[in-house]
Amino acid sequence: MAKILVIDDEEQLRDLLKQMLSRDGHEVQTAFDGVEGMRMFGQFNPDLVITDIIMPNKDGIEVITELLCSNSGTPIIAISGGRRAITAEFNLESAELLGVKGILSKPFTRDQLRETVQYALGL
């Protein structure tokens, strides 16, 4: 299956995403913020990046912009819960305008994750 990099500052969610994606046969690496995520991207060379939007040090919009400018062609899924629903919606709309392959608003189901991953990977 695919190599997936998950970038999220919430440890529980990172672990849960890794567990769910691994069960589907994917190889998963995780990072706790955008700085570590970009370093891991260069080392891991993933087929897909799933990034939270609101993170310390380097947020998801910065990660998305950097990845898109690198012309790597790696599809990106943006996830956000924001502090409020309206904030999450705005963040995800911003990510969508930048050109991510999918968006997920927290909380999301395993089926929603699976469908979005399959779509982003072109499966």
pLDDT tens digits, one per residue of 73-121: 999 999 988 555 556 677 778 888 788 999 998 889 999 999 999 999 9
Contact assessment for residue 51 and residue 32, using Cβ atoms and an 8 Å cutoff: no
CATH number for the segment(s) 3-121: 3.40.50.2300
- The phi, psi pair for 48, rounded to 5°, reads -155, 140
Identify the burial level of 65 via C-beta atoms within 10 angstroms of its C-beta, where 0-12 means exposed, 13-18 middle and 19 or more buried.
middle
pLDDT (mean) for 37-62: 95
pLDDT (mean) for 29-43: 97
52-77 pLDDT, tens digit each: 998 999 999 999 999 999 988 999 99
The number of residues in the chain equals 123
Identify the burial level of 8 via C-beta atoms within 10 angstroms of its C-beta, where 0-12 means exposed, 13-18 middle and 19 or more buried.
buried
User: What is the per-residue pLDDT for 87?
Assistant: 65
Cα(10)–Cα(28) distance, integer angstroms: 16
- Answer whether 0.75 is exceeded by the pTM: yes
User: What is the per-residue pLDDT for 86?
Assistant: 52
Residue 31 confidence (pLDDT) above 90: yes
Residue 9 confidence (pLDDT) above 80: yes
User: What is the per-residue pLDDT for 90?
Assistant: 75
